[in-house]
Structures are given as structure tokens and as C-alpha cells.
Amino acid sequence: MVDEFLNQDEIDALLSGTPGSDGGTGGSSLAQDDFSVLNEVTGIVANAASNVIGMLAGRDVTTNIGEQAELPQNTVGGKIAGSKVFSYSLSLSGLDSAPARLVTTESGALALADLMMGGDAKELPAEANDLYLSAAQEGLSQLVGSVLTNLSGIMGGARLSADSTSSSLDETDSWRPFPDEAEDAPVWTGRVDLTVDGVEPFSLSIVMPSANAADLAARVREAMTPEEPAPAAAAPQAAAPRPQAPAAAARPAQPVSLPPRPQSPPVDVRPVEFAQLGGSEFAGSPGNIDLIVDIPVRITVELGRTRKTIGEVLALGPGSVVELNKMAGEPVDVLVNGKLIARGEVVVIDESFGIRVTEVVSKAERIRSMGV
């Protein structure tokens, strides 16, 4: 009979797997099915990182899905290399405001920021300043937007957005992803290793409290599970046929005569004839063009255009010179509501600038450009 009772060690082992009242837990609260679904979520993060960072940097980006685990939040910092950790904080609207973090090293944040500003991530500052931190936050913000868009598609169009976003650079030893939770509160982490062409590899981790991660996995699993068709209603049982009186004599079947089908009138079929195109006037212009001649439009004179990187734009200041794609002496473009209608040269009228029109596009092109 004594063997049927649990000893103290066995009782402690059972209790260690039960969540405590203080928000901490000694065991895992994520099932194996949850880890499988969350691994797919990490794959979405990896795909978004490859697309967004590759687009921003204009380089090839290779991603690998690293280790995922559930562990106490006060041990997450020890898994991150380097003395400082850069974290992007957000809450997920549409998932009960679940908190989440995107985490990387200080060197990873510097590389991402430099690529955002048009650099090559080779000559990085020794420490991250406000400019680099803002650029890194903007890069992760675009990555999160791509992740939520893809996740929303998997979850059947659920409305997902990032709220209460912020970023911080903290000492690795003292950093906790969720300071409001208990020190040993369980969190789920999934890591993505990134290799950008010509840049030192770095990692990006997603961190969520285990309870919120389990809820996310359940919602994704529910959205991806096809609904079973409702069972068909049982067919009503046919009523028993009524007995009929015996017929006096079988009658022969009578032929049925149908009325004659009316004949369709003959159809006139001939090839289509198009009007001849020609002349300088626009054949498609409406005859009542005078009805809209009083509508005001916006006229813009464009001196020229150029393309700059974000880093070059941020570096502009008083005295900076921006070179345009127009040569000196070339006519400038005259646009009406953004549509080219003429070209001309800049003149001065009293104390104001003006344009002397030197070339006008055809009337047909002008009408087409105005969408008439």
C-alpha cells in the first residue's frame, strides 16, 4: 500500500510543470504542435527580412532559421552575443495586444541602419548614435509590416497591426524583454540568421511571452485547419404508396402532338467597318469640350529631377548643391496636373519668374494627358 503513494520528490516534479500564481513557471507551457506552428512564424520573419533588407540594401540576403526555444526571460540576454542588445518593442493589435520584441546585437543594428541610409555597412561607428538607432528602428518597422501582412493572409485576413512601437539599446546582462513580468517568466524565442552580401552576418530574434505565443499558434492552426462540411440532412422517408383501385381496362397510350417551332428570322452578318484615322485633330475628343474649359487646373514647371539615397538626403544642409538631370540651357517642362503639355524657357517678369513657351505638344496629346 505504501508504494501507491507519491513521495515528496515525485510531488515536486509534478508541481514543477504547473504554472505558478506569480506568472512564472518551472516547466514548458508550449506543446510540440505549438513549436511546429511557431517555426512557420519564424519562417515568415526570415522571408520578410530577406525581402525588406534586400530591397533596402540592393543586395542579396540569405536567411536561415535558427534555434527556437522556451526559456525564462532573465536568460534571454545571455543568448545574445555582445555587450549591448538592440530591441524593437511592439504590441500586436488583433492578437489581444500581445507584446513582442525583435532583438539583435548592437553591431547588427548598426549594420541594418547603415544599409538603410545607403551605406555599405563596412565603416560603422564604434557606438550607435540617435541617427543610427532611428534608422534601425525604421528598418525593423518595415520588416514588421511585411511580417504582419503575410501573417494576416495565413490567418484568413485577420486585422493585424503594430502598436506602441519603440526601440532601446540596453546592456545585455541586465536586459529583460518584458520588465513587467516576473524575472523567470517563460518566453518563446525564435532566431533568424542573416547574411547580407558583403556585410558581417548578424542574427535577429523574435521574443514573445509563452502564453501569447501559444495563443498565436492556436489561432494560426485554427485558420489553417479546413472546416469540415456539415453533415447532410437525412432524406425524408418516402410515404407508402396508396393502394389504387384496379383499372377496368388498360388504355393505349395516346400520341402527343407538339406545336410547330417558330422559325427564327435570318440574321444579317457582315464585317465591321471602322472609320479611317487621320488628320492632326484628335478624333476621340468630345464635341462639348467647351463645357469644361472653365475648370481650374494646376500648372507646374519642372526644372529637373534626380535620385538620392536616404543617407544623401539626410546629409543635405544649407549650402548643399543638388545636381539635376537637365543640362544648362535645356527647356523646362510645363505640366498640367502632372501631365506634360509644353516646354519653355525661364524668363523674369518684373520680380517674378515666368515661362516663355517654346514647344507645345499636339492637341490630341494634350486632351489625352488631361484624361478628357
Q: Using one digit for the tens of pLDDT, what is the confidence trace for 94-109? A: 889 999 999 998 888 9
The CATH class of 292-308+324-369 is mainly beta
| DSSP H helical ranges for 117-160 | 130-154
**Which of 289-298, 322-331, 332-341 has the lowest average pLDDT?**
289-298
Tell me the backbone φ, ψ of residue 144, rounded to 5 degrees. Answer: -60, -40
* Whole-number Å distance between alpha carbons of 90 and 236: 57
Q: pLDDT (tens digit, 9 = 90+) per residue, 242-264?
A: 555 444 444 555 554 555 655 55
Whole-number pLDDT of residue 118: 80
Q: pLDDT (tens digit, 9 = 90+) per residue, 180-208?
A: 999 899 999 999 999 888 888 889 999 99
User: CA separation (Å) from 300 to 10, 138, 251, 324, 357?
Assistant: 82, 33, 93, 17, 13
3-state secondary structure of 231: coil
Average pLDDT over residues 2-31: 50
**If you search the block for the grid coordinates 485577420, which residue do you land on?**
158
Phi-psi category of residue 157: left, alpha or beta, with phi > 0 → left and psi -120 to 50 → alpha: left
Whole-number pLDDT of residue 89: 94
> Average pLDDT over the chain, rounded to whole?
78
Whole-number pLDDT of residue 323: 87
Whole-number pLDDT of residue 370: 58
Residue 108 CB neighbours (<10 A):
24
| DSSP H helical ranges for the chain | 8-15, 32-57, 106-116, 130-154, 210-224, 310-314, 363-369
**368 vs 283: which has the higher pLDDT:** 368
* Whole-number Å distance between alpha carbons of 10 and 17: 12
What's the pTM?
Answer: 0.56
Q: Which three cell numbers stand for residue 255?
A: 400520341
Helices 32-57/130-154 angle, 10° precision = 130
Q: Where are the domains of the chain?
A: 23-224, 292-308+324-369
Average pLDDT over residues 152-178: 88
Number of helices and strands (H, E) in the chain? 7, 10
Residues 6+ apart with CB under 8 A from 190: 38, 39, 41, 42, 45, 65, 66, 68, 205, 206
pLDDT band at 272 (very low <50, low <70, confident <90, very high): low
Q: Which three cell numbers stand for residue 175?
A: 536586459
Residues 6+ apart with CB under 8 A from 224: 154
**367 vs 325: which has the higher pLDDT:** 325
Whole-number pLDDT of residue 289: 60
By 3-state DSSP, what share of the chain in percent is helix, strand and coil, each rounded to 5? 30, 25, 45
Calculate what percentage of the chain has a pLDDT beyond 90: 17
Picking from 85, 73, 82, 101, the residue whose alpha carbon sits closest to that of residue 166 is 101
* Whole-number Å distance between alpha carbons of 297 and 354: 17
* Whole-number Å distance between alpha carbons of 179 and 80: 17
3-state secondary structure of 115: helix
* Whole-number Å distance between alpha carbons of 72 and 31: 16
Residue 243 CB neighbours (<10 A):
6
Q: Give kind and range of the element (H or E) at residue 97.
A: none
pLDDT band at 311 (very low <50, low <70, confident <90, very high): confident
Calculate what percentage of the chain has a pLDDT beyond 70: 72
Q: Which three cell numbers stand for residue 180?
A: 513587467
User: CA separation (Å) from 88 to 181, 252, 309, 317?
Assistant: 17, 91, 24, 30
**If you search the block for the grid coordinates 500648372, which residue do you land on?**
299
Residue 297 identity (one-letter amino acid): V
Average pLDDT over residues 99-127: 87
Q: What would the CATH number be for the domain defined by 23-224?
A: 3.40.1550.10
| DSSP H helical ranges for 58-129 | 106-116
pLDDT band at 315 (very low <50, low <70, confident <90, very high): confident
Whole-number pLDDT of residue 186: 93
Average pLDDT over residues 341-352: 86
Picking from 308, 65, 78, the residue whose alpha carbon sits closest to that of residue 203 is 65
Residue 286 has pLDDT above 70, yes or no: no
**165 vs 260: which has the higher pLDDT:** 165
